[in-house]
Amino acid sequence: VTDLFWPGDERAGALMSEVSFLETMVRVEGAWLNALVSSGLAPAAAHADPATVVTSDDVDHIARAAEAGGNPVMPLVQVLRSRLDPDAARWLHRGLTSQDVLDTALVLMTRDVLDRLADELRSQILAVSILAEHHAESPMVGRTLTQHATPTTFGAVAAAWLDGIVDAAEVAAAARRSLPAQLGGAVGTLASTVELAALRGRPSPTAVARDVAMRASEALGLRDHRPWHTSRGPLTRASTALVSCADAWGRVATDVATLSRTEISELAEPSGDGRGGSSTMPHKQNPALSVLIRRAALAAPALGSTMHLAAAMAGDQRPDGAWHVEWATLRTLGRHTVVAASQTTELLQGLRVDTARMTATLVSSAHDMLAERRGVAELLEASPDPDPTTYLGITGDLVAGAVERGRIFLEENA
Amino acid sequence: VTDLFWPGDERAGALMSEVSFLETMVRVEGAWLNALVSSGLAPAAAHADPATVVTSDDVDHIARAAEAGGNPVMPLVQVLRSRLDPDAARWLHRGLTSQDVLDTALVLMTRDVLDRLADELRSQILAVSILAEHHAESPMVGRTLTQHATPTTFGAVAAAWLDGIVDAAEVAAAARRSLPAQLGGAVGTLASTVELAALRGRPSPTAVARDVAMRASEALGLRDHRPWHTSRGPLTRASTALVSCADAWGRVATDVATLSRTEISELAEPSGDGRGGSSTMPHKQNPALSVLIRRAALAAPALGSTMHLAAAMAGDQRPDGAWHVEWATLRTLGRHTVVAASQTTELLQGLRVDTARMTATLVSSAHDMLAERRGVAELLEASPDPDPTTYLGITGDLVAGAVERGRIFLEENA
Amino acid sequence: VTDLFWPGDERAGALMSEVSFLETMVRVEGAWLNALVSSGLAPAAAHADPATVVTSDDVDHIARAAEAGGNPVMPLVQVLRSRLDPDAARWLHRGLTSQDVLDTALVLMTRDVLDRLADELRSQILAVSILAEHHAESPMVGRTLTQHATPTTFGAVAAAWLDGIVDAAEVAAAARRSLPAQLGGAVGTLASTVELAALRGRPSPTAVARDVAMRASEALGLRDHRPWHTSRGPLTRASTALVSCADAWGRVATDVATLSRTEISELAEPSGDGRGGSSTMPHKQNPALSVLIRRAALAAPALGSTMHLAAAMAGDQRPDGAWHVEWATLRTLGRHTVVAASQTTELLQGLRVDTARMTATLVSSAHDMLAERRGVAELLEASPDPDPTTYLGITGDLVAGAVERGRIFLEENA
Amino acid sequence: VTDLFWPGDERAGALMSEVSFLETMVRVEGAWLNALVSSGLAPAAAHADPATVVTSDDVDHIARAAEAGGNPVMPLVQVLRSRLDPDAARWLHRGLTSQDVLDTALVLMTRDVLDRLADELRSQILAVSILAEHHAESPMVGRTLTQHATPTTFGAVAAAWLDGIVDAAEVAAAARRSLPAQLGGAVGTLASTVELAALRGRPSPTAVARDVAMRASEALGLRDHRPWHTSRGPLTRASTALVSCADAWGRVATDVATLSRTEISELAEPSGDGRGGSSTMPHKQNPALSVLIRRAALAAPALGSTMHLAAAMAGDQRPDGAWHVEWATLRTLGRHTVVAASQTTELLQGLRVDTARMTATLVSSAHDMLAERRGVAELLEASPDPDPTTYLGITGDLVAGAVERGRIFLEENA
């Protein structure tokens, strides 16, 4: 899967792709069908593996047929029923509603995205920790509101990136843990499954219905949860995690773009294969990764706001548009985020740091750099040390603290 | 082109598709190349039709190769150069920068979207005008803040929809008229084209360079315009037009969704082919078109905000991320809007109006409906007419005025 | 504090008001000053309570003077220095940067907002739990995509609201726990405080500086944390909590607005004092609370997206605009959320439920309501029970489960 | 009016303030009342000037009382009726609905904002034209994707700013021209005014009602227009104009912030009165205006998206929340935009341009700057001119063209 409009999109592979969407919906149908069987509500003959009967060739037909009912589940069920054995066909999708299948598939695909992000975040934490420790004593100019301010170290800069990345990683890990299945039937009451159990003469029909939901959730590796057709917290938590990651990376990319400006040149992106080249100026080395990461960071907040809006407008027992807007929004946000994750990892692993340039700039700006120090000295009637590379405050502690926090995060989320 | 995540997507056909993007970029390269030739800066042997040498099979390769330089133009130029005659290959892309090609292609694709929208808006204006006139005297309950208020007519309701649609159509028509080509070279100065003209010994090299740009713009049917690499008004105007259309339709769809609620049932969507069906409840007739239109209306404002944000953050002579976020955002907004346009046209052309139900509801609510009328009568010490169907104010004028406005718009934009 | 543009604004009292902003910034200056004293870096004579020297009358002057330096801290420090004893004046703000004071004040004000929200959420959880349990067996029509679907109970509807509210309350409680102080000095290195300690001859100057920060954080009741001038996770977590609350309430208000439509009338807002009245139609009873809550839910996602955007664009050691946009955005989001919180509590505590109407509608729609049940019966060749009030699935379990979850949340967050 | 959370807010004066809101609503009530009188529907004794009976002291009471009915018009009408002569009191607000008064007041306040913006935009066009012409031949490095690319002139940079500003000014002028009054009564049918005319025995009651609306519109200087209670084009056009202005300025401020970076220092903001100072580093000269303008540009797109969303969700004859969210959103957007307008004017009028530094940087980067030129020379087997200050392309034409366009705009919008 590539996207000519979003260079780097192939880094997301099949995550949140149309084929993955189809396959995952089929998997949900299968998990439910087999839970009906294993709980004794459907006959053993209904057991089936629906995954074997659809292929990526079905995507186009199902997508086209999806509009009539407003979602792709109905045509998918028709396709599956036409291809499964009669018993399986008869029992397929019994007790489910379209939103169950689609939401659970969204959740499973989101889980895959979050798993991939977890890998990338782990790599990033390692890479930034190395940068921070390696440059714990590399002094550089600190900049505020675009102007030279007082000295810092590149290690401290990297430590601040690291804190931002670990913040995001914590949000993402929490979102990953709380992903629920959606299995509620037409209005979230599992009524037809309860009815089945009652007609089957089971003593506690509601317990049986809940047991079916639990079996299907377990089969999919998701939390069993009361239906959340119009309580969209699970999706806003997940989408917020994606946006928060983009925030953390956007901020790193903004710094790299600035610090690799021709006039500053303290950082440079990893080079290789025409990376950062220009169509007309062979000398140019554009910070292409940073630029593409910033792109994602500019796009993510608005996409995240649509997910919240959808949650806020989710009325009745299933909503009239607010649900439908989530699918593509979450897909776009998910793929963009994975692409940016991978680009950020590459950026951080290959970042080139010009410490000589950093020192030179700091020294050439020494007088201004030490204005604050002179103020302190004046206060105590002391004479200030004129060396800007010794006015570094707690930068060492910042590095040690952030790296330690990262280490603990990695340990706890191994 | 379909999209399993956005049912109905196929209504947008090839508009803003990846293949269209590729073809349109090639068209821009061709227009510029041949303008160089026709203006005498490049030799006649450089004349070529690059469209003949790329196919949709190239999309994947170019998309993958796009990441290194941050955009797909560089790999596209490489592909073209490898396939064109040596003279054409040598002169191809001379004087252009990636952003020229990509922006002009975006503009051309946006023009196609706006043309398609213009067709849909025309059909909608006709359809709503017919509804408004046909129901100019169909009384119904007016509702404010969800409650029955005073009477109106369905004609007046449709007239208000019509005003909203014509408002949007005017914004879209203005955006369509102002679409400019982007032809500026590396930093928007056309310097290398001027240099070419100077080295060719042309007396007024800047005039020659501007003439090349004009020829290329004309060949593409676009306005000749100073480069706007970081002045993104043309794109924010166009994207605002798309969002404004979605606003107008979202509001119609909101009304249809409400008025087709089971308890209200004054309107119904056009039926046919399982339209609006449910996977488990055969009796259900969901307002599927309205639901899908509302979906687009919920998504569009956030996408539009990203286009504005990109405009606001467009720094330097070409921006570092703010440009890159526009492409996919505009694509998504463009396709969503065309899909919603087509769905709205279908909705309006097939809308079923239950005037008997409207009257019945109005009559059953007559006492409340006439509270205001009684207040007026009391003021003049008159006795109020008890018939709610005669308290319709200027509804007739509203219909006539809105229809006339629509008619004039259609005439002026034929 | 009222706001003619946002009816109900006075429910937020002084939270996030200008006076509160001023007072809180002063409190931060005081906490730092006294931490300098207590740690021995500043002389005992520098101890002061700056809160005593500013009043709300200073707001206007400081606001006007804020523009020159881009933030209100500099003029505030000037005002304080001009009014404090010379020793305190000399030591005030030593080691801090404007962003330290402003960010910590924002955090403290956000904590007050979150505390108020916690109270409201608690009241809401109780109120909805009562509704859910009281109506655990009140059958009603379930509605999906605006149409009658299958039966549910109002208890189950309330249970779903409850799940949404507890979801939001969990997000808010987590955000509340993680609020850090911001104390870093010019570029986040605490360099001038370290310098002070060194010039004072303290053996471990960096430990002293960190100790000052810890003392000040403790005095303010905030987490001690590495500076996060450009790692804005703390603020995006808090703002996401606010938006998530608005989502949960917006969804309740959407349901109430729908179910109190004249044609449906299953719910009604609490009445009293002209609540919901109309300027011209005395009979009208508008769902004014729901309308105003929906207003907040429509506004919140976009405001939240601005906070994320600010986080993503936070470059250098302190950002050039991305920081400045947060203040008013968070203030607006904070006040809107508190107002909506209070309105939602009132709505839920006074909600009027017309169970007779619910039953009547369900019975009148019984044939359609039971289509799914007939399908199940057919599958097992049984004959379906024709009573729609017995097709309620696991609604009882949904109520019990959601109420239990709410109870546990209240216990754990007492 | 100041705002401690938004430094510079006082630049917006009373525009869109609460007092202005109150006064403007009163003005609308007055215009309608007197139109009733002048058209003969109300007795001469009902003529009144309601503006004389309310003061800014009423804001607080009316704001508090606004919540019950969901808007401030009802309590305002009560206050006015209690203070006017009985005849005026009896006829006041007859035929209007709250939304008429509030919307028309919003429009009038928006007009004042757009008038103020028009003044600022005029000043900016003049100031940038001067900069562009003055620096038409000031060569500087052109930068793309943060890197040195090829030469340009500061005149061409300013010309591009100018094009962006004139783009925005055109959008704002068009929005200004189209502002309509909102006068429709309860459901937009003017029914009670028609009823009045009928009871008064007037031959064409609907014509009389429309005449009243026309008289009131004229008295307020607004376009007479069919009611647009749920067709929000007028407000989205206006709010888009505000956002488009912020886009144009944000882009200028982004450039100024970059070019005044310590390492670049080609531009500097106007100095004076502690402008740009730091609380701890006396040497610092922060680009405070640019920072504050960027702040507005980061906030505006999201606020604009809320206005579009409100338009899209405007259902029934008057909406249930979508209307209410517009007031404060438009107020905030309006005030922010005026503040940013004024700051941008100041920035542009006082901008300091260091042409020596520009030239020095260009010369020091000459080799890279001329890579493209060498490519062209190679193509024609010529030898390239090594002077980067002669590789300026059509920059002269860009300046002339943009300035001419600005001049024409000013002439046509004098």
pLDDT of residue A273: 66
d(CA B318, CA B230): 6
Inter-chain residue contact C302 with D299, CB threshold 8 Å: no
CA distance A32 to A30: 5
- Does A308 sit within 8 Å of C237, measured CB to CB? no
Residues of chain C contacting A230 with CB distance shorter than 8 Å: 160, 164, 251
CB contact under 8 A, B144 and D317: yes
**CB-based contact, D393 to chain B, within 8 Å:** yes
Please check whether residue B324 is in contact with residue A291, taking contact to mean a CB–CB distance below 8 angstroms: yes
Listed by number, the residues of chain C in 210-239 with a beta carbon closer than 8 Å to a beta carbon of chain A are 210, 226-234, 236-237
* Smallest Cα distance from A223 to chain D, Å: 34
Alpha helix (H) ranges present in B84-97? Answer: 86-91
Cα torsion at B90, B92, B95, B99 (round to 10°)?
A: -140
Task: State the Cα–Cα distance between residues C26 and C59, nearest whole angstrom.
Answer: 12
Closest-CA residue to B119 (of B15, B217, B236): B15
Find out whether A228 and A234 touch, Cβ atoms under 8 Å.
yes
The CA distance from B369 to B257, in Å, is 23
User: Is A125 within 8 Å of A164 (Cβ atoms)?
Assistant: no
Distance from the Cα of A116 to chain B's closest Cα (Å) equals 20
Per-residue pLDDT of chain A (414 residues; tens, 9 = 90+): 999 999 999 999 999 999 999 999 999 999 999 999 999 999 999 999 999 999 999 999 999 999 999 999 999 999 999 999 999 999 999 999 999 999 999 999 999 999 999 999 999 999 999 999 999 999 999 999 999 999 999 999 999 999 999 999 999 999 999 899 999 999 999 999 999 999 999 999 999 999 999 999 999 999 999 999 999 999 999 999 999 999 999 999 999 999 999 999 999 999 876 677 776 677 788 999 999 999 999 999 999 999 999 999 999 999 999 999 999 999 999 999 999 999 999 999 999 999 999 999 999 999 999 999 999 999 999 999 999 999 999 999 999 999 999 999 999 998
- Closest-CA distance, A210 to chain C, in angstroms, reads 8
CA–CA separation, A266 vs A268, rounded Å?
A: 7
CA–CA distance, D321 with D311 (Å, rounded to integer):
11
Residues 176-215, chain C: which have Cβ within 8 Å of D? 185-186, 192
Any catalytic annotation for residue B217? no
D22 lies within 8 A of chain C by CB: yes
Partner A contacted by B63 (CB < 8 A): yes
CA angle D188, D192, D194 (to 5 degrees): 90
CB contact under 8 A, A247 and C70: no
pLDDT of residue A275: 75
Provide the residue type at D131 as one letter.
Answer: L
Cα–Cα dist C285/B70, whole Å? 58
The verdict on a CB contact (< 8 Å) between A291 and B68 is no
Note the ipTM here: 0.97
Instruction: Identify residue A251 by its one-letter amino acid code.
Output: R
Question: Buried b vs exposed e over C191-214: b needs ≥16 C-beta within 10 Å?
Answer: bbbbbbbbbeebeebbebbbbbbe
**Residues A4 and B66: beta-carbon distance below 8 Å:** yes
| Whole-number Å distance between alpha carbons of C105 and C111 | 10
Non-local CB neighbours of D136 within 8 Å, separated by 6+ positions? D153, D155, D395, D396, D399, D400
Q: DSSP for C324-377?
A: HHHHHHHHHHHHHHHHHHHHHHHHHHH-EE-HHHHHHHHHHTHHHHTHHHHHHH
Question: How far is the C-alpha of B119 from the C-alpha of B268, rounded, in Å?
Answer: 24
* Tokens describing residue D136: 């038409």
D317-353 pLDDT, tens digit per residue, is 999 999 999 999 999 999 999 999 999 999 999 999 9
Q: Which residue in D has a C-alpha nearest to residue C191's C-alpha?
A: D280
Is C50 in contact with C92 (CB distance < 8 Å)?
yes
**Contacts with D248 from chain B: Cβ below 8 Å:** 231, 233, 311
**CA distance linking residue C103 with residue C182, whole number of Å:** 6
Give the mean pLDDT of chain C.
Answer: 97
Contact C372 B288 (CB under 8 A): no
A309–D contact, CB cutoff 8 A: yes
Residue A380 CB coordination number (10 Å): 12
Q: From CA C342, how far away is CA C11, in angstroms rounded?
A: 7
A395 in contact with chain C, both atoms CB, cutoff 8 A:
yes
Cβ within 8 Å, pair C145-A319: yes
The pLDDT value recorded for residue D175 is 96
Q: Measure the CA–CA gap between B234 and B237, rounded to whole angstroms.
A: 5
pLDDT at B389: 97
Residue A271 annotated among the catalytic residues of the structure: no
Q: pLDDT grade, residue D111 (50/70/90)?
A: very high
| A75: closest chain B residue by CA | B279
Enumerate the residues of chain C whose CB falls inside 8 A of the CB of residue D280. 93, 96-97, 185-186, 192
Contact A105, B43 (CB under 8 A): no
DSSP E strand stretches across D244-339: 267-268
Sign of CA dihedral C235, C239, C242, C244: negative
Place of tokens 């929000």: D232
The chains found to touch A (3+ Cβ pairs under 8 angstroms) are B, C, D
Residue C67: alpha-carbon gap to chain centroid: 28
Which strand (E) or helix (H) includes residue B391? none
Task: Choose among B72, B295, B302: nearest Cβ to A305.
Answer: B302
Residue C82 has which token pair?
A: 């001009």
What does the angle CA B66 – CA B68 – CA B70 come to, to the nearest 5 degrees? 60
Chain C within 8 Å of B143 (Cβ-Cβ)?
yes
Tokens linked to C225: 């944390």
C-chain residues within 8 Å CB-CB of A194?
A: 393-394
Report the 10 Å Cβ neighbour count for B382: 15
Contact C18 D6 (CB under 8 A): no
Chains linked to D by 3 or more Cβ pairs within 8 Å: A, B, C
By the CB < 8 Å criterion, does C43 face chain A? no
pLDDT block averages, 10 residues each, chain B of length 414: 97 98 98 98 98 97 96 97 98 98 98 98 98 98 97 98 98 96 98 98 98 98 97 98 98 98 97 72 88 98 98 97 98 98 98 98 95 95 96 98 98 95
Give the H or E element holding residue C148.
strand C147-153
- Using the Cβ of C291 and the Cβ atoms of chain D, whether some distance falls under 8 Å is answered with yes
Q: Which residues contact D200 (CB under 8 A, 6 or more apart)?
A: B380, D40, D41
**Short-list C1, C68, C63, CA closest to D10:** C63
DSSP string, B177-239: HT-B-----TTSS-HHHHHHHHHTT-S-HHHHHHHHHHHHHHHHT-B-----TT--HHHHHHH
Please report, to the nearest 10 degrees, the dihedral formed by the alpha carbons of residues A90, A95, A97, A103 taken in order.
-110
Angle in degrees, 0-180, between the axes of helices A98-134 and A73-83, rounded to the nearest 10: 110
Burial track D323-358 (b if 16+ CB lie within 10 A, e otherwise) = bbbbbbbbbbbbbbbbbbbbbbbbbbeebebbbebb
Average pLDDT, chain D: 97
The reply to whether C313 touches chain D by the CB within 8 Å rule is yes
Mean pLDDT over the full length of chain B: 97
SS3 state of residue A298: helix
Strand, helix or coil for residue D152: strand
Cβ contacts of D378 within 8 Å, gap of 6 or more: none
pLDDT digits over D246-298, tens only? 999 999 999 999 999 999 999 999 987 667 777 667 778 899 999 999 999 99
pLDDT in the model for residue D273 = 66
Longest Cα–Cα distance in chain B? 93
> What torsion, rounded to 10 degrees, do the Cα atoms D113, D115, D117, D123 define?
-150
Could you say which residues from 327 to 356 on chain A have a Cβ atom under 8 Å away from some Cβ of chain C?
none
Interchain proximity B308–D300, CB inside 8 Å = yes
Out of A178, A278, A305, A364, the active site residue is: A278
Q: What is the pLDDT of residue D310?
A: 98
User: What are the residue ranges in chain C where pLDDT is below 50?
Assistant: none
Instruction: Give the closest of B146, B150, B278 to C281, CB-based.
Output: B150
Residues of D in contact with A142 (CB under 8 A): none
Per-residue pLDDT tens digits for D150-204: 999 999 999 999 999 999 999 999 999 989 999 999 999 999 999 999 999 999 9
Interchain contact, A251 vs C304, CB within 8 Å: no
A310: nearest CA partner in chain D: D309
Residues in chain B closer than 8 A to D400 (CB atoms): none
Of C7, C74, C281, the CB nearest to D279: C74
The one catalytic residue among A318, A331, A335, A373: A318
| Helices (H) then strands (E): counts for chain A | 15, 4
- Tally the residues of chain B: 414
Mutation target to probe the A interface, by most A beta carbons within 10 A, among B2, B4, B285 is B4
Per-residue tokens: A31: 């998990």
Residue A107's identity, in one-letter code, is V
- Is the CB of D146 less than 8 angstroms away from the CB of A286? yes
Using CB atoms within 10 A of its CB, is residue D55 exposed (0-12), middle (13-18) or buried (19+)? exposed
Determine contact: B304 vs chain D, CB below 8 A. yes
| A51 close contact with C: CB closer than 8 A | no
Contact call for A69 and B279, based on CB within 8 A: yes
Residue-level pLDDT at B400: 98
**Spatial separation of the C-alpha atoms in residues C74 and C57, rounded to whole Å:** 17
Chains touching chain C at 3 or more Cβ pairs under 8 angstroms? A, B, D
Q: Within a 10 A sphere around the Cβ of B400, how many other Cβ atoms?
A: 16
Q: Determine whether the interchain pair D143/A262 forms a contact, defined as Cβ–Cβ distance below 8 Å.
A: yes
**CB–CB of D70 and B315 under 8 A?**
no
Q: Residue D360: name the closest of D256, D266, D257 by CA.
A: D266
* B231–D150 CB contact, under 8 Å: no
Flag if D263 and A264 touch (Cβ within 8 Å).
Answer: yes
Are D96 and D34 in contact by the 8 Å Cβ rule? The answer is no
Question: Is D140 in a helix, a strand, or coil?
Answer: strand
